[in-house]
Amino acid sequence: MIRGKVNSPVPLIRTFSHEGRKGFGGILQERKGEAKLAMWKSDWSDRLTNQTLLDREAIRVSGRGRNVDFSLDDTVPIDQLEEHLRQHLERNGDWLVDGEAVTISVGRRVLKPEDLMRIRQIFEDEFHLKIAGFRCEPEILEREISEETGVPIFLAHPKGLSTPKAKAIRQAGTSLLVKNSCRSGTSILHDGDVVVLGDVNPGAQVIATGDIIILGALRGIAHAGANATDATEAFIIAFVLRPLQLRIGRYIGTAPTDNGKEQATVVPEIARVSGHSIVVAPFTGKFQRNPMP
């Protein structure tokens, strides 16, 4: 078992350690001040947009009756998506007649009015197509957008999930399923939740704006709730939780530097923020929304 204390770039306040909690009771630290965080956040969004597309089609076109539908991958950052869209229309747009009405499926992406207008501009001004409407998942439907932009927005699945259930599933972003172990040097950045089917080894990092679930051993770095200032809701679950460093929102915890033997029994554990520190508890399989007051 490898454990080490990691020096933080900013002065740290030592916070109390939790009694009776397994694993991460050692040193729990909080970043002081917001300046560093803001810097880091801009770095994050930079890296997110520079991320290359995996072998995935960002734009898919399908016919719905007489209607042509453009499905936009909701995991691709909006700036990249625009580029993909332009390229796609330039290469494959010949068969579309000028003025033809198309619909746009945005998936689970939460579109800001200005994003919507940018997409509309590409279709209507640059390629002379008409947008009949946007399709989206029910939980991200925002009527104001429709009113503000004058474009009709309708549900992708009219008999879809009811609103409270959809909220429990997650409002923004989608989940990324990583179907292999993350070895040293791997960096996964995702706007949403991340599930890793394998281990996260030392030297690898998983950074997500949502939650992180690792169906294996976490020995590297995991950062959940990455660009939220208040990420008390975010959590990290791993079958074997032995990270070098845990980060949830603006909290950083390092592993205790004891040279003790590994615990005899290894249970899945959940790490989350409680009372200004990261607290680790055994994960019994039932997720409770607010288990720690």
Partner 1 sequence: MAGKTFVVTSGKGGVGKPTATANIGAGLALRGKRVIVIDTDIGLRNLDVVLGLENRIVYDLVDVVEGNCKLNQAMIRDKHTNELYLIPAAQTRDKSAVKPDQMKNLRDHLKEEFEYIIIDCPAGIEQGFQNAIAAADRAIVVTTPEVSAIRDADRVIGLLEAAELPIPDLVINRLRPGMIKQGDMMDKKDILELLSVQLLGLVPDDEHIIVATNKGVPVVHDSRSMSGEAFRRIASRIEGEDRPFLNLENGHGVFSKLRKFVGLKGGDFTDD
Q: Which is nearer to partner 1, 227 or 245 (CB)?
A: 245
Whichever of 28 and 200 has its CB closer to partner 1, that residue is 200
Structure token digits, residue 80:
């990249």
User: Least CB distance from residue 161 to partner 1, whole Å?
Assistant: 38
Nearer CB in complex with partner 1: 15/186: 186
Nearer to partner 1, 21 or 219 (CB): 219
Q: Residue 173 and residue 212: Cα distance in Å, rounded? A: 13
Q: C-beta of 49: minimal distance to partner 1 in Å?
A: 22
- Of the two residues 25 and 216, which places its CB atom closer to partner 1 in the complex? 216
Both tokens of 19, joined, read 């009694």
Nearest distance from C-beta of residue 23 to partner 1, angstroms: 19
Q: What phi and psi, each to the nearest 5 degrees, are found at residue 114?
A: -70, -35
Residues that bind partner 1 (CB under 8 A): 2, 180-181, 183-186, 199, 201-203, 219
CB of 155 to partner 1, least distance (A): 40
Neighbours of 25 (CB within 10 A): 17
Q: Which of 120, 133, 134 is nearest to 82 (CA)?
A: 120
CB 249 within 8 A of CB 234: yes
Tell me how far apart the alpha carbons of residues 73 and 84 are, in angstroms, rounded to a whole number: 10
